[in-house]
Amino acid sequence: MNWGRVFFVFFSMFGLTLNVVFLYENNVVILFLAASVNFVCVTLRIGVKSSLSAEILATLLVGVLHLIAGFIVLQVFESLHLAYAIVLGAVVANAVSLLLLVLESTKDNQEDI
């Protein structure tokens, strides 16, 4: 079992679910946690060399930047509606990241056969 991949998938799913929780609860602490967990995902993915590594890292970076922007908008401009829209972008980026991760896993499994 590849424990690095297990931790990465765990934090990726945790980040995505925290994004969705923010869309339901609209709490600034949850948004901060979502940004932090997604940042951990980025740091776990740096240095991984695999078939779709660059694409997965790029989507993770997009998600983190969306969450940071959403946090700033919520704290500085106090616009919940705009922060909500920005976090939706992070949800899409994280979903694409997980889709690419599944594609990478199936591709790696086919190469092993």
User: What secondary structure does DSSP assign to 33-92, as a single string?
Assistant: HHHHHHHHHHHHHTT--STTHHHHHHHHHHHHHHHHHHHHIIIII--HHHHHHHHHHHHH
Q: Domain spans of the chain?
A: 3-112
CA distance 5 to 13: 12
**pLDDT tens digits, the chain, 113 residues: what are they?**
889 889 999 999 999 999 999 999 999 999 999 999 999 999 999 988 888 999 999 999 999 999 999 999 999 999 999 999 999 999 999 999 999 999 998 887 777 76
Total residue count of the chain as it appears in this document = 113
Angle at the Cα of 35 from the Cα atoms of 95 and 56, rounded to 5 degrees: 40
Please tell me the predicted confidence (pLDDT) of residue 4: 87
C-alpha R_g of the chain: 15
Task: Give the pair of three-digit tokens for residue 83.
Answer: 């922060």
60 sits in the region (left: phi over 0; alpha: psi -120 to 50; else beta) called alpha
The pTM is what?
Answer: 0.91
Question: Which of these, 52, 92, 87, 94, lies nearest to 73 by C-alpha position?
Answer: 87
